[in-house]
Amino acid sequence: MLKSGNLNALENLLKDLEENKLELSSTLKFKDIRKSLNKNIEKLSAKLDSMKNVVRSYEKNIQSVQPAFKWAQNKDFIIIEIKYSHRLDSPGCLELEDSKIDISYDKILYFSGFCTIGDVPIKFELSLKLFGEINRLQSSWQENSVGKFLLNLKKKTGNSWPSLLRDEEVPPANMQVWLEMQEQFDKKDKEDESEEDESEYEDEDDDYYDRLVEEKNKNKKKKRRPKYKFNVLNSKDYLKVQN
């Protein structure tokens, strides 16, 4: 049914099986149906994507827009939230199709996706030359909420960046610092630093105490019992003393 494209017939068949209106033969199992279904769905999905790309290649009048975004950082991660709009305070698309993310080895972040506002197709594109390197394998991204996309980028080296972009790059007008998130990061970093300082202080106290105990034990070893000299009198001297 999938091969012939008769999806309605397949849907009715699965519904009848679910309601026990039909019985499966001993040679046909749900596992086999699921395997065949998944395989053909993947093929069908690939064909649909290919057709969609062909259609888009002929859409010469698609408007390209750079989406607005805000960012924050701690010593390990860069967080970027992209809004499907040209401004953070303006309405935009609720969702994107064909969202793509790429982080190249020359520190370029690329994001793109399509949406339609009314009858107008729009392509959102964002290309950023990042200040530092990103560990792509430990980074993640996902739809954050309606109309937004969240990127959680792992820094290759754990330190604070002076800026999101390279020095020669002019920041986009619709780029902002994510103040609420940055305040949370700064607060957490201060708490972590305070805990580290307390831990180091406790370690120093322990070392100092150990040195005191060791010094005290050394002094104890040095203090020995005094030697007393006894004069042993012989019998003659004893008699002299008696007389």
The token pair at 156 is 């290759």
Q: For residue 99, is pLDDT > 60?
A: yes
Q: Alpha helices of the chain — where are they, by DSSP H?
A: 7-18, 30-57, 179-222, 235-242
| Cα–Cα distance, 113 to 194 (Å, whole number) | 43
Q: For residue 241, is pLDDT > 50?
A: no
The pLDDT score that the predictor gives to residue 70 is 97
Do 47 and 5 form a contact (C-beta atoms < 8 A)?
no
CB neighbours of residue 147 within 10 Å: 17
Nearest to 136 by CA among 97, 170, 102, 168: 102
Q: For residue 125, is pLDDT > 80?
A: yes
Mean pLDDT of 31-55: 71
Query: In the chain, what percentage of residues exceed pLDDT 90?
Result: 38
The token pair at 226 is 């005094």
27 pLDDT band (50/70/90 cuts)?
very low
